[in-house]
Amino acid sequence: MNEIWVFAEQRDGKLESVALELLSKGRDLAAKSGYALAAVLLSENGEALAPELFAHGASKVYALDDPRFAYFQNDWWTDAFVSLVRDKAPEIVLVGATTNGRSLAPTAAAILHCGLTADCTQLDFDTEKKLLLQTRPAFGGNIMATITCADTRPQMATVRPNVFKKERLDGAPAGELVRVPAGLDGAACRMKRVAFVPDAGEDVNLAGAQAVVSGGRGVGSAENFALVRDLAAQLGAAVGASRAATDAGWVSPLRQIGQTGRTVCPKLYVAVGISGAIQHLAGMQSSETIVAINKDPDAPIFDVADFGLVGDLNEIVPELSRQLAARRA
Ligand SMILES: Cc1cc2nc3c(=O)[nH]c(=O)nc-3n(C[C@H](O)[C@H](O)[C@H](O)COP(=O)(O)OP(=O)(O)OC[C@H]3O[C@@H](n4cnc5c(N)ncnc54)[C@H](O)[C@@H]3O)c2cc1C
């Protein structure tokens, strides 16, 4: 079937943002490929969530309703998902690289004997060869590799949250709601949820932040990171860091942005004393507006920046904070 599927993960009856981000990107792939864009929703009440999926570009929602889909259980969810893939044979399947998606997608790919490209940072479509172009860092993050899956179907990829922008269509677009039986009769589940314990780690507040100010090696020391924090406070922004800064112990590793850290997509990203290594860019380059402060005019961060300030961060950052504070006053 000529369809692109997005796995519409829900938790506690609420759609994960990455599902809507993938639908938004899926619209572009659907336009290039001529395939239809559909969402697959495993939940207790698909009808309630379907309008949000239509609003982000799904022309069809396959809704599998069952109490066993109240929360993620790999065996049941994968069983139902794989059966539907076998039945409908979509061309492309996209899954958010959440904790649950990182469990479901490889299990499904192994059962289906198809490939899976994990943690893609870009997706495109080769209209001549009719193949999904799946780009991700490779060889220790030193190159970006574009991977295709020529021989098996579906072509499967996972994408981390915040890599693509979520874009709602105007109005209240309608689509086709296709109810599918869960088909779990007699299916075993080797897991039992005992309790849900949220991560008690430091609340770094990065995931949904509208603005992020990140510091890198150029900041120079843990003490000097106060400059980054002050600027973030003036902007109402979350504090991020490059790996060089977290490795140096200046800030918590939970704040690391990049390929092996978090992916963010704020309206404003300010990079302070960060060179712009490819692994750092992988975690922030889809930010709406990027401001870079660096003393080296040839630093690669300026290639992705919308605004660049060339100079010593020890002079520029306090001055920015001062002017912002004055403006607020
Ligand atoms: C497998 C792998 C995964 C990785 N994952 C990540 C990741 O997730 N996130 C990540 O960030 N990195 C990651 N890295 C590391 C990455 O390659 C870079 O080493 C790192 O991003 C560099 O951090 P930086 O830009 O802070 O430091 P540097 O590259 O050392 O840059 C410091 C910058 O500060 C500027 N500077 C210095 N002093 C001043 C000053 N006074 N005023 C203004 N500017 C100044 C310099 O001009 C320079 O551009 C990974 C590497 C590998 C191999």
Whether 246 and 253 have beta carbons less than 8 Å apart is answered as yes
Q: What was the pLDDT predicted at 201?
A: 59
103 with 145, same domain: the answer is yes
Q: What is the rounded average pLDDT of the residues 240-262? A: 94
Distance, in Å, from the CA atom of 85 to the CA atom of 119, rounded to the nearest integer, reads 21
106 with 7, same domain: the answer is yes
171 with 253, same domain: the answer is no
Q: What is the rounded average pLDDT of the residues 189-200? A: 81
How does DSSP classify residue 253?
G
- What spacing in Å lies between the alpha carbon of 240 and ligand 1's midpoint? 13
Longest dimension (CA), the chain: 68
The CATH number covering residue 278 comes to 3.40.50.1220
∠ at Cα 322 (302, 305), nearest 5°?
A: 10
Q: What is the rounded average pLDDT of the residues 214-235? A: 97
Q: What is the rounded average pLDDT of the residues 151-159? A: 96
- What spacing in Å lies between the alpha carbon of 66 and ligand 1's midpoint? 47
pLDDT at 79 over 70: yes
Whether 282 and 121 have beta carbons less than 8 Å apart is answered as yes
Whether 130 and 43 have beta carbons less than 8 Å apart is answered as no
Q: Into how many domains does the chain fold?
A: 2
pLDDT tens-digit series, residues 297-311:
999 999 999 999 999
Strand ranges (DSSP E) for 209-262?
A: 211-215, 238-241
Q: Is residue 184 part of a domain?
A: no
pLDDT band, residue 131 (cuts 50/70/90)? very high
User: Could you give the percent of the chain with pLDDT greater than 90?
Assistant: 83
Q: What was the pLDDT predicted at 295?
A: 98
Residue nearest to atom 28 of ligand 1 (CA): 275
175 with 215, same domain: the answer is no
pLDDT band, residue 186 (cuts 50/70/90)? confident
Asked whether 248 lines ligand 1 (CB < 6 A), one says no
41 with 130, same domain: the answer is yes
Q: What was the pLDDT predicted at 200?
A: 62
Q: What was the pLDDT predicted at 202?
A: 58
**How many C-beta atoms surround the C-beta of residue 189 within 10 A?**
14
> Does residue 191 or residue 142 have the better pLDDT?
191
Q: What is the rounded average pLDDT of the residues 50-72? A: 96
User: Could you give the percent of the chain with pLDDT greater than 70?
Assistant: 98
291 with 146, same domain: the answer is no
- What spacing in Å lies between the alpha carbon of 215 and ligand 1's midpoint? 9
3-class DSSP string for the chain:
CCEEEEECCEECCEECHHHHHHHHHHHHHHHHHCCEEEEEEEECCHHHHHHHHHHCCCCEEEEEECHHHCCCCHHHHHHHHHHHHHHHCCCEEEEECCCCHHHHHHHHHHHHCCCCEEEECEEEEECCCCEEEEEEEECCCCEEEEECCCCCCCEEEEECCCCCCCCCCCCCCCCEEEECCCCCCCCCCCCCCCCCCCCCCCCCCCCCCCEEEEECHHHCCCHHHHHHHHHHHHHCCEEEECHHHHHCCCCCHHHEECCCCECCCCCEEEEECCCCCHHHHCCCCCCCEEEEEECCCCCCHHHHCCEEEECCHHHHHHHHHHHHHHHHC
pLDDT band, residue 7 (cuts 50/70/90)? very high
pLDDT at 192 over 90: no
Q: What is the mean pLDDT of the chain?
A: 94
∠ at Cα 294 (320, 291), nearest 5°?
A: 60
Residue nearest to atom 37 of ligand 1 (CA): 218
Helix (H), strand (E) at residue 41: strand 36-43
168 with 37, same domain: the answer is yes
181-190, 198-207, 291-300: lowest mean pLDDT where?
Answer: 198-207
Q: Which of 312, 223, 216 is nearest to 257 (CA)?
A: 216
The CATH number covering residue 41 comes to 3.40.50.620
Distance, in Å, from the CA atom of 83 to the CA atom of 280, rounded to the nearest integer, reads 38
Q: What is the rounded average pLDDT of the residues 93-119? A: 96
Q: Is residue 186 part of a domain?
A: no
Mutual angle of helices 17-33 and 46-55, in 10-degree steps: 50
pLDDT band, residue 33 (cuts 50/70/90)? very high
Asked whether 137 lines ligand 1 (CB < 6 A), one says no
pLDDT at 206 over 90: no
Range of the domain at 93: 3-179
Q: Is residue 22 part of a domain?
A: yes
Q: Is residue 160 part of a domain?
A: yes
23 with 105, same domain: the answer is yes
173 with 106, same domain: the answer is yes
Q: What was the pLDDT predicted at 193?
A: 87
Asked whether 240 lines ligand 1 (CB < 6 A), one says no
17 with 166, same domain: the answer is yes
H helices, E strands: number in the chain: 9, 17
- What spacing in Å lies between the alpha carbon of 241 and ligand 1's midpoint? 9
Asked whether 218 lines ligand 1 (CB < 6 A), one says yes
For residue 299, which atom of ligand 1 is closest to its CA? Answer: 49
136 with 48, same domain: the answer is yes
> Does residue 182 or residue 310 have the better pLDDT?
310
pLDDT at 324 over 90: yes
C-alpha distance from residue 120 to each of 51, 70, 85, 231, 283 (Å): 27, 28, 21, 32, 11
151 with 256, same domain: the answer is no
pLDDT at 54 over 90: yes
